[in-house]
Amino acid sequence: MWSRVIGCRLAGVVAAVVLFGALPTWSFDYARYQAADLDELLAQPRPAKGVDIYPARPLRLDVTLVSYAENCPTALLKKTMITAGVAKELVDGLQVLGCIKVRSAKGRELRIFVQDVVSSFLPREVPLGSPVTFFAIHVFTAPEGPGLLVNEFSTEAGNDPAKASSDQRTTGTEPPCGCGAPDFHPGIDMSNDRGGSPVQAVDDGVVVKVEEDEQAAVDVPDIGRCGRYVVVRHSYSNGHVAFSRYAQLGRIVDAGGRPIAPGTRIRKTDKIGEVGSGKILHFELRPVVPGALEPVAGWTTRYGADPAMEWSRYQPVNPRNFDPDTFGKIGTGGSPK
């Protein structure tokens, strides 16, 4: 399961799960989640035994946080997801170890499942007893109540869930991937339970850079090592261009196990590599737009003669804020540099 980490939360959604082996969306789709009342949900009929299973209904719930995540059995959650049609390999990669307790407007309490990526943020951002909005899916209903899985949250204080809430600039620690420094991390990190999991391209494009050195440095010297990585150039019908980079890979191979070389044309969701032994994927997105040139002194000296490093001239953006449909739409202003 894609987990969060630096720069922004990137939690998954079942039915549109953002998983290792796939980045099917560029952003977390908050609009999919329909406003719901927890008291009304708790009042709905329940089976006398067994469970009623649903196709991952997305709900937005305003509740009060009662407790942070504690370990809880997740076998039923995963079993019902598979029964509902979610691929077993995707469910097996889902990182959910805990449950949190929430309180409804009428004071009724419920334990709900929470993705590990989300639970790691709650203690830093939401004090116990505080109001919070959870973006969750309703997977099943048991005699004990509804089975909900939280994928994301936002707070009453107005935190924009698409922005960094625990940026490295405030923590003063290096990114887990090692690809950056306390004051600069040019992407997001996503973790997985297993090394060797497939990494897929986020969109159609052409491979422009393949770095096989597992000790390769970040494009800016002396701020960490990104290891093996692949860069893909995505060209849109209006002439705009964006680069995506996938770093800390274990192997750079396609679905058939064949090495991938610069110039390879790929389609969205094609396998372009495998997660390394560190079980972390560092992901970057760099649109080619006016004013986005990376203001790093000496770039021309280091990379000016290497066209494969063109991607590193442009500043990375938060992938969750990037809309490829708008960016690539015919008639939009601006032009790539």
Phi (first) and psi of residue 42, to 5 degrees: -70, -25
Which of the residues in the chain have pLDDT under 70?
1-29, 89-90, 93, 117, 156-178, 180-185, 192-194, 217-224, 289-298, 320-321, 330-337
pLDDT value, residue 168: 32
> Going by C-beta distance under 8 Å and a sequence separation of 6 or more, which residues neighbour residue 317?
285, 286, 287
- Give the residues across from 200 on adjacent strands: 271
> Going by C-beta distance under 8 Å and a sequence separation of 6 or more, which residues neighbour residue 188?
4, 5, 6, 7, 8, 10, 282, 283, 284, 318, 319
Q: Which CATH superfamily is domain 30-155 in?
A: Nucleic acid-binding proteins (2.40.50.140)
pLDDT value, residue 314: 82
Amino acid identity of 49? Answer: K
On whether the CB atoms of residues 250 and 196 are closer than 8 A, the answer is: yes
- The 8-class DSSP code of residue 30 comes to G
> CA dist 211 to 15, 132, 207, 258, Å?
33, 43, 11, 15
pLDDT value, residue 183: 55
CB neighbourhood size of 22 (10 A): 21
| Token output for 232 | 């893909």
pLDDT value, residue 32: 83
User: Any idea where the domains of the chain sit in the sequence?
Assistant: 30-155, 168-327
pLDDT digits (tens, 9 = 90+) for 276-321: 888 888 888 888 865 556 545 567 777 777 888 888 888 777 776 6
Q: Does domain 168-327 have CATH number 2.70.70.10?
A: yes
